[in-house]
Amino acid sequence: MESVMNNPLLRRIAASAIAFLLLFYVGYQIYRSHHTGIQTETAAYFTASDSVMVSGIAVRDEALLKGGDGGVIDYVLSAGDKVAKGGTVAEIYSSAQQVAARHEMETVNSEINQLEALQSPGDTYAASPDSLDEQIHRQISEMAGQTVAGSFLSLTQSREDLQYLLNERQIITGKVTDFSSRLKNLQAKLDELKKQAGAALGKIVSPASGYFISSTDGLETAIDFTKVQGLTCDQIQTALGAKAAAGGSPGKISKDYEWYFVFNVSSGQATGFRQLADGGTVSLQFPFVSNLTVPASVAAVNQSGSDSPAAVILECNYMNSELADIRKETAQVVVHQYTGIRISQKSLHFETVSKTTKDEKGKAKTVKKEVSGVYILHGNQISFRQVVPLYSTDDYVICDPNPSSDGLMTDETLKLHDEVVVEGTDLYDGKVVQ
């Protein structure tokens, strides 16, 4: 053993190894002093939703329309239009040709009204080609947007507006002096269409005031409207399983402006709805029907036990042509919406913080409390700031941007645009970063 230690070669190797280790240690300490490993992200506002996807059924107080047998029905209302009791819903003609002539009369009448307006002196003569060109391009873009969005009901009016602008441009650019010849032809065509249209055999009137719905599905009485708020999970499930069938009625009237959307949820999902059962509101979205968000109030949450599924009854008072036709539908129900400052879960820490306060007698006292918070990098200094979480997921936390100062243990809370530390070691309040 002694001969080995006296070996010059081995002594040099051992000395070199020790020197290398010392050099590595010194280098590591220098690296640590100059490289903190701290990474930050900027705090920003964010809105998150707590929502649930459900399959539900629309419940309305509906009255079926009567009449129209033995004739061709021409509706004068669109789905979702309001109508008074006794108001005309449709007219009845003996043939489809009469109905077609009536519709063409409306188109011709509209063009006549446009051209007569252009014949009258007014704003037309003060318009310029450049301003009209801008309006025409804007109108074409609007029509393209309506087409992409599927808003075909709006296209008829947009087409008439575009036609008016094009005709107006012809006048102010001198392409035409007037539309007398065109008006004469249109009037002759209108007289001929009146003969073809003839008179209606009769009409269909509304039995009650409400919203007009042009279709029937045989499920109008699947759920008793007067007992909707007492529905159970089994009753809703039975209604969802009932088969729809087109009826012989020409349509129906939703008598009340209020209607309901009902569905079942799990016991865990029921908690959020129960918290809103006393007039709380949610938002309904029907992704396969419309991009519209419909406000609704929680009318009832019926649950046989805390571990049982719950029947949720939402009350709505908004109606349009798309909503008027829904019966069984998939919906996304936004139960809560949270807006605040978003931070990464990686940046959240729990620290014990001391705070000096005064009691009722004005005597100073120190309070210690563990709070959630984040480390903020300001310049080259790190500070700890308490946060008040509003909502969290596995990836992020939404924090209250304006929490009450009474509940804060730190002088400040998280603010918009703060540089929040998401990665770093040996973090503490007041640390100076090189």
Question: Would you write out the chain's pLDDT as a tens digit for each of its 434 residues?
Answer: 455 455 666 667 767 777 777 776 666 555 554 555 789 999 999 998 889 999 999 999 999 998 877 789 999 888 888 899 999 999 999 999 999 999 888 888 888 887 777 766 555 555 677 777 788 888 888 888 877 766 666 777 777 777 777 777 777 676 776 677 788 888 898 888 888 888 888 999 999 998 899 888 889 989 999 999 999 999 999 999 998 877 678 899 998 778 999 999 999 999 889 888 877 899 999 998 888 889 999 999 999 988 899 999 999 998 887 888 899 999 999 998 899 999 999 999 999 998 887 777 778 888 889 999 999 999 889 999 999 999 999 999 999 999 988 889 998 899 999 999 999 888 988 888 87
Full-model pTM: 0.66
- What is the C-alpha separation between 10 and 413, in angstroms, rounded? 61
Element (H, E) at 368: strand 364-378
The residues near 377 (Cβ < 8 Å, ≥ 6 apart) are 38, 40, 419, 420, 421, 433
pLDDT of 109 reads 86
Element (H, E) at 26: helix 8-34
pLDDT in tens, 97-112: 999 999 888 888 888 8
Q: What angle do CA 348, 349, 352 make, to 5 degrees?
A: 150
* Residue 4: predicted pLDDT: 47
Q: Per residue in 67-99, pLDDT tens? A: 877 789 999 888 888 899 999 999 999 999 999
pLDDT recorded at residue 433: 84
Q: Are 60 and 225 in contact (CB under 8 A)?
A: yes
| C-alpha torsion sign, points 331, 333, 339, 345 | negative
The one-character DSSP state at 123 is G
Residue 121: how many other CB atoms lie within 10 Å: 7
Q: What is the rounded distance in angstroms from the CA atom of residue 25 to the CA atom of residue 433?
A: 21
3-class secondary-structure state, position 281: strand
Rg (CA), the chain: 36
